[in-house]
Structures are given as C-alpha cells and as structure tokens.
Amino acid sequence: MRTYFPNLTVLALVVLVVGCDQSGSSDGDADNNGKPVVYATNYPLAYFAERIAGDTAAVRFPEIDGDPAFWRPSDAQVADMQGADLILTNGATYEKWAKTVSLPPKKTVDTSVSFASALIEIKDATTHSHGSEGEHSHAGTAFTTWMDFDQARQQAIAVRDALVKAMPDDKETLNANADALLADLAKLHEDMRSVTTAIGDRPLVASHPVYQYFARQYKLKIESVLWEPETVPTEADVADLKRILKDHPAAWMIWEGEPASESVGLLKGIGVESVIVDPAGNRPDQGDWLSVMKRNIDNLRAVAGRSSN
Ligand SMILES: [Zn+2]
C-alpha cells in the first residue's frame, strides 16, 4: 500500500507529538470540550464518524505516517484509545496491533461484523516491505472492506448505531447526519457500478493486493503485483508483470496513489496505462474520503472509455 514520504510538516508534527507525550499529555486531549471522544483506527471510519457525529463528539484519528493497516500505536496512543468513550475498528484483521493491546470490549466496535461471513481469505501471500514500515504480508484476511461501497454502507450503519448507543440524547441529529452520509454512499455505489459495468470483464492489473472487495462487488477481473506508487519497478518486477499479462492481457494498472512518472513510462512501453484508485485508508492531503472516492470513479471513466455513460 502507499507509503508517504514524511515532509517537513509531518516531521514537525511528529516532533510536537513526541514532545507532548514526554511532558505527560497525549495528542489531541486539549480540544474535546467535554464532548465524548470517539477514536477511529483508519480514515474511512474517522470520516464516517465525523459526518455522523457532527459536533456532538470529538473524533480522533491519529497522524499516521504510512498505511494505518500496518500502524503500530505508541503507548501514549494506546492510552488515548483506552480512555476514549468509543473505539471504532475496521475488523477484518485490519488492527493487527490489537492482538497485543487490551481494548475495553464494551467500548470497542467492529464495524465489519455484519458481513463477517463474506470476508475474503488471501492465499499464497508473500512478505514484502513498504519503505520504512518494515516487512509485512497480506496473508490472512483482505481488509480493504470499504472499497465495496455496500460494505462501506454497512460499516457506516455500525458507526451510526454505536454513536446512538453512546449518545442517546443526540439520536435525532445522529440519525439525520447518518441519512445524509448513507445517501452519499448509495450514490457512490451506483456511480461505481455504472462505470465498472462499462469496464466489464476487461482484464486489469493492480499495483498492490488491496482491491479484493472492490473487484468482487463490481465484478472486475483484477490480478495483483506488489508494487509501490513511489518505487520504480525493477526489471524482475516487469518480467513478473509480463508473465501475468500473457494470460491476463490488461491494458490498465490500478495504483493506490500517484505513481512515479518513470513507472508510468515503463508501463506505457509494454502497452499498459496507469489509473489511480485510492482507497484512502489514511487522511488525504487534500479533500476528504468522499471527494477521493468521486475522483476514483472519474479516473475509472478513462478505463471504461467512450462506452461509459
Ligand atoms: Zn503490502
């Protein structure tokens, strides 16, 4: 998945947060104004919680350098989470760190539990590294649940229900806000279905194995490699891709983030175009979860070509 090169702003923030932790307080404690604190472990859930809670709760999503799926919370962040009124988790093995951390079960909600029986097991995953994040593997359960927007809808409903339970006095506001979010998700689902129907069964390749639910819901034929947007593939990587293309003649590669221009050029040389479908597991530099998803749909219109309407 995408790795973010820390820029100076991020470094400055890290220094600030570390500084705060050493002086005994942790990030974000100051501004909850007595409101209930809701902690989210990835950006899609934070976005859903922010939309539904409005100003009834303080939603916390930590600054994470890299993919939140491979995050290791600091002791201070764990303490923050344990002190929250509600902890929203993605489930589907997203929170690998949770095995070694005790979260209060009554305050912790697994937002993918309603479709637990439909989770996808990944076979034959190899270990690889994402820049500074160290080695990891995609073995186990596929976790990018929200790229199936019907599953995203179910996760948003789980967030709504958890918020209503935690703040029954705000029920009307929460339900009204949730209805607006659910309408947006329904529209996304419809638009994604329309553009992917136009793509049909044309083979596609993905730069990373994170599109399992997306492919299943929208009936796309996707084979994956293990490339990173900011890393130019080696000759061996390209040879592996060519082997895939023999039986799976894809004309497009889906990237999680803006690929290096050299990678785009290399792919063009073997007849493969590049398109970005960003799962936005982490907070984007610009816009929000919804605007990133709308851009993904727009990007896919190029893959669908003129036949899409
Ligand atoms: Zn990976």
* Each residue's pLDDT tens digit, 66-85: 899 999 999 999 999 999 99
Cβ atoms 145, 92 nearer than 8 A: yes
Ligand 1 centroid–CA 239 distance in Å is: 19
Q: What does the pLDDT look like over 121-171, one tens digit per residue?
A: 987 667 777 666 667 778 889 999 999 999 999 999 999 999 999 999 999
Share of the chain above pLDDT 90, in %: 79
The residue that leads in pLDDT, 53 or 20, is: 53
- Ligand 1 centroid–CA 137 distance in Å is 6
What local confidence, expressed as pLDDT, does residue 98 receive?
Answer: 92
CA of 136 to the centre of ligand 1 (A): 7
Taking residues 96-104, report their average pLDDT.
92
Cα 139 to averaged position of ligand 1 atoms, centre (Å)? 10
More confident call, 138 vs 292: 292
Give residue 255 CA to ligand 1 midpoint distance, Å.
Answer: 12
Distance 278 CA to ligand 1 centre (A): 14
Better-scored residue on pLDDT, 125 or 10: 125
Specify the pLDDT at position 22. Answer: 37
- Per-residue pLDDT at 113 exceeds 80: yes
pLDDT exceeds cutoff 60 at 14:
no
- Please tell me the distance between residue 128's alpha carbon and the centre of ligand 1 in angstroms: 6
67 Cα to the center of ligand 1, angstroms:
9
CB atoms within 10 A of CB 308: 15
Q: How far is the CA of 69 from the centre of ligand 1 (A)?
A: 9
What was the pLDDT predicted at 133? Answer: 61
pLDDT of 125: 67
Model confidence over 184-222: pLDDT tens digits?
999 999 999 999 999 999 999 999 999 999 999 999 999
In this prediction, residue 304 carries a pLDDT of 96
Q: Where residue 107 falls among pLDDT bands split at 50, 70, 90?
A: very high
- Give 193 Cα–ligand 1 centroid separation in angstroms: 26
Q: How far is the CA of 147 from the centre of ligand 1 (A)?
A: 16
- The region of weakest confidence among 99-108, 136-145, 294-303 is 136-145
Residue 212 CA to ligand 1 centre (angstroms): 13
pLDDT of residue 139: 80
Residue 13 has pLDDT above 60, yes or no: no
pLDDT number for residue 11: 47
Alpha carbon of 45 to ligand 1 centroid (Å):
21
Residue 177 confidence (pLDDT) above 70: yes
Q: Which residues of 206-244 are buried (b: 16+ CB within 10 A; e: fewer)?
A: bbbbbbbbbbbbbebebbbbbbbbbbbbeeebbeebeee
* Res 34: pLDDT: 86
Q: Which domains occur in the chain, in start order?
A: 8-185 (3.40.50.1980), 199-297 (3.40.50.1980)
Instruction: Report CA(130)–ligand 1 centroid distance (Å).
Output: 6
The pLDDT score that the predictor gives to residue 140 is 85
